[in-house]
């Protein structure tokens, strides 16, 4: 799984102008079953995305299609992790449990 931290590198006015396109892109990733959670950081300096497991290269290619990335409005920090414990509601996403 991945936690993706988005950091705004452009003024909020530019971020907000491109927000409808970014939201449509995010919605598409939920429809495809790739994203589990997403939202703004507090304070509003960027965002967070939690993804389902996938090859890192696939995630990097996917992030490159984000309108914010295409317009060079954000930078991404990608943290990969293997879930070894989860709340019961997330058990089917837990890679350690799936391998048993």
CB 41 within 8 A of CB 98: no
Average pLDDT, the chain: 91
Is the pLDDT confidence value at 80 over 60?
A: yes
The residue extents of the domains of the chain are 2-93
Give the predicted TM-score (pTM) of the model. 0.87
Complete DSSP assignment for 70-81: HTT-EEEEEEE-
> Model confidence at 43, in pLDDT bands (50, 70, 90)?
very high
CATH topology of domain 2-93: Alpha-Beta Plaits (3.30.70)
């Amino acid at each position: 799984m991945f936690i993706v931290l988005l950091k705004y590198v452009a003024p909020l006015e530019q971020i907000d102008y491109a927000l409808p396109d970014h939201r449509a892109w995010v919605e598409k990733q939920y429809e495809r079953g790739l994203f589990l959670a997403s939202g703004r950081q507090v304070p509003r300096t960027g965002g967070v995305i939690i993804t389902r497991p996938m090859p890192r290269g696939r995630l990097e290619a996917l992030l490159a299609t984000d309108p914010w990335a295409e317009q060079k409005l954000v930078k991404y920090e990608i943290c990969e992790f293997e879930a070894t414990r989860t709340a019961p509601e997330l058990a089917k996403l837990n890679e350690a449990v799936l391998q048993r």
